[in-house]
Structure 1
Amino acid sequence: MSSAIDLHGAPHVARYLETDGEDGFHWRNGTEILILFTKGRKSGEERSHALIFREHGDDYLVVASKGGTDAPPAWFVNLQADPEVEVQIKGDRFPARARVATPAEKPEMWATMAEVWPDYDEYQKKTDREIPVVVLERA
């Protein structure tokens, strides 16, 4: 069985949830992963996504990059429709409220995220879309 380091998307989420993050919390290049649960804006069904995150005070930061594509990731569109989400970090699953970092907050938060995943800077150069930093506030 391969490590979650080699996994992306649904297989990564499944391994993380099966092991409470024992396999999947630590990912590539020293990054740490949380699972974000959103509700599909059309289906209402729960969706789950493995995302690189950093702690920021009592909050958690994630980046809605989708690799620098012009369209935002579906999870971001879903949380814009319903910002009440759930987050799982290792074995701790909790309700949270998602919001986009304000223009005043974003530069420092972006730098915090690019420090662990420098590709974010490259992703931003690839698109005219302003890639948001999302703040997850524990409810």
Structure 2
Amino acid sequence: MSSAIDLHGQPHVDRYLETDGEDGYHWRNGTTILILFTKGRKSGQERKHALIFREHEGAYLVVASKGGTDAPPAWFVNLQADPNVEVQIKGERFKAVARVATPDEKPAMWAKMAEVWPDYDEYQKKTSREIPVVVLERA
């Protein structure tokens, strides 16, 4: 069985949830992963996403990069429709409210995220879309 370090997408989510993050919380280049649960804006179905995160002043930051594509990730569109989400970090699952970092907050938050995943800077160069930093605050 390979480590979650080699996994992406649904296989990573599944391994993380099966092991309460024992396998999957620590990921590439020293990053840490949370699972974001959103509600599909059309289907109403629960959606799960493994995302790089960092703690920031009691909240959790994630980046809606989708590798620098011009379209935002589906999870971001879903949380814009319904910002009430759930987050799982290791074995703890909790309710949270998602919001986009304000223009004043974003530079420091972006720098904090790019520190652990420098590719974010490259992703931003690839698209004219402003890639948002999403702040997840415990509800």
Superposed structure 1 runs of 4+ greater than 6 Å apart: none
* Length-normalised TM-score, structure 2: 1.00
What secondary structure, in the 3-state scheme, does the structure 2 residue paired with 1:71 have? coil
Aligned to 2:91: 91
Calculate percent identity across the aligned residue pairs. Answer: 88
- Deviation of the 1:57 alpha carbon: 1.2
Mapped partners of 1:69, 1:102: distance in 2: 22
Aligned to 1:62: 62
Mapped partners of 2:92, 2:138: distance in 1: 11
Aligned to 2:27: 27
Matches within 5 A, 1:1-139: 1-139=1-139
RMSD of equivalent CA atoms: 0.2
Mapped partners of 1:14, 1:133: distance in 2: 25
- Number of equivalenced pairs: 139
Structure 2 runs not aligned, ≥5 long: none
Structure 1 runs not aligned, ≥5 long: none
* Length-normalised TM-score, structure 1: 1.00
* Structure 2 counterpart of 1:81, one-letter code: A
What secondary structure, in the 3-state scheme, does the structure 1 residue paired with 2:12 have? helix
